[in-house]
Amino acid sequence: MEPAVKPEQLELLPAVDVRAGQAVRLVHGESGTETSYGDPLQAALTWQRAGAAWLHLVDLDAAFGTGDNREHIGEVVRAMEIRVELSGGIRDDASLAAALATGCTRVNLGTAALESPEWVARVIAEHGDRIAVGLDVRGTTLRGRGWTRDGGDLFETLERLDREGCARYVVTDINKDGTLQGPNLELLRKVCAATDRPVVASGGVSSLEDLRALAGLVPEGVEGAIVGKALYAGAFTLQEALAVVAGAGAGGAA
């Protein structure tokens, strides 16, 4: 596989997580902690209008095994003129085909990477960089099935996926997710040191200062940052965030 070209600046991926047809944010990814932010299409359009180049879109019901939001997800992807990273419940040929058929730019596999390694190796070989793997961790233990089950060691799994040609990782620190406590920079540095593949950081972003810190990790391999709660809670606007990462330049924190 060709090495990915390192971006000059941190990509921002505002998140729209869909549960029971609503855009929601969770705390630590725990079912039952939802705060609702209304129609997912309106949320996605808000981020698109504000200048996002990417949308991180999650079908939370599919991830938890409590149904799915396929109609809402399809509607959102169709309305986007920007790139979409789609995740949640993509675990077999049928769900992968349906996800790719939405027109999303890439999909993010979580549970399948832990439970179905042979299938994941095959779809990585077939679809290349349309497949990313979500490494959702507590400490350095991976979690699957709606983050309710342990799924092995982060670094052993990373080594296997690297060997199989995985193009990119989305690394979520579950302890930080939805908490506005700041990203786990140490974890991100360790993952970047263990792989030459680009890493999208997820979990904990709370301030523009956090984004500057993540922009400082671009030279180490952090390609992007998923921003959820901070945007919905109004900690900063997406325009402010985009200005900060543009100002941070070629990976250097401003």
Ligand X SMILES: O=C(O)c1ccccc1N[C@@H]1O[C@H](COP(=O)(O)O)[C@@H](O)[C@H]1O
Q: Which residues contact 99 (CB under 8 A, 6 or more apart)?
A: 86, 90, 107
Interacting residue with ligand X among 157, 172, 184, 195 (CB under 6 A): 172
224: contact with ligand X by CB under 6 A: no
Interacting residue with ligand X among 102, 111, 195, 206 (CB under 6 A): 111
Query: What is the rounded end-to-end Cα distance, in angstroms, of the chain?
Result: 33
Pick from 1, 76, 64: which is nearest to 33 by CA? 64
**CB-CB contact of 12 with 224 (8 Å):** yes
For ligand X, which stretch binds (CB under 6 A), given 66-74, 108-116, 123-131, 239-247? Answer: 108-116
Containing 107, the helix (H) or strand (E) segment is: strand 106-109
110: contact with ligand X by CB under 6 A: yes
Q: In sequence order, which ranges of 56-204 are alpha helices (DSSP H)?
A: 60-64, 70-79, 93-101, 111-115, 117-127, 154-163, 185-194
Interacting residue with ligand X among 11, 34, 61, 136 (CB under 6 A): 136
Interacting residue with ligand X among 12, 16, 23, 63 (CB under 6 A): 63
88: contact with ligand X by CB under 6 A: yes
Which residue's CB atom is positioned nearest to ligand X? 110
87: contact with ligand X by CB under 6 A: yes
69: contact with ligand X by CB under 6 A: no
Selecting among 17, 68, 177, 210, the annotated active-site residue is: 17
- In whole angstroms, give the CA distance from residue 251 to residue 47: 23
29: contact with ligand X by CB under 6 A: yes
* Annotation marks residue 17 as catalytic: yes
Minimal distance in Å, beta carbon 139 to ligand X?
16
**CB-CB contact of 77 with 88 (8 Å):** no
Minimal distance in Å, beta carbon 249 to ligand X?
29
User: Site residues (CB under 6 A) for ligand X?
Assistant: 17, 26, 29, 58, 60, 62-63, 87-91, 108-112, 134, 136, 144, 146-147, 172, 177
Catalytic residues: 17, 136
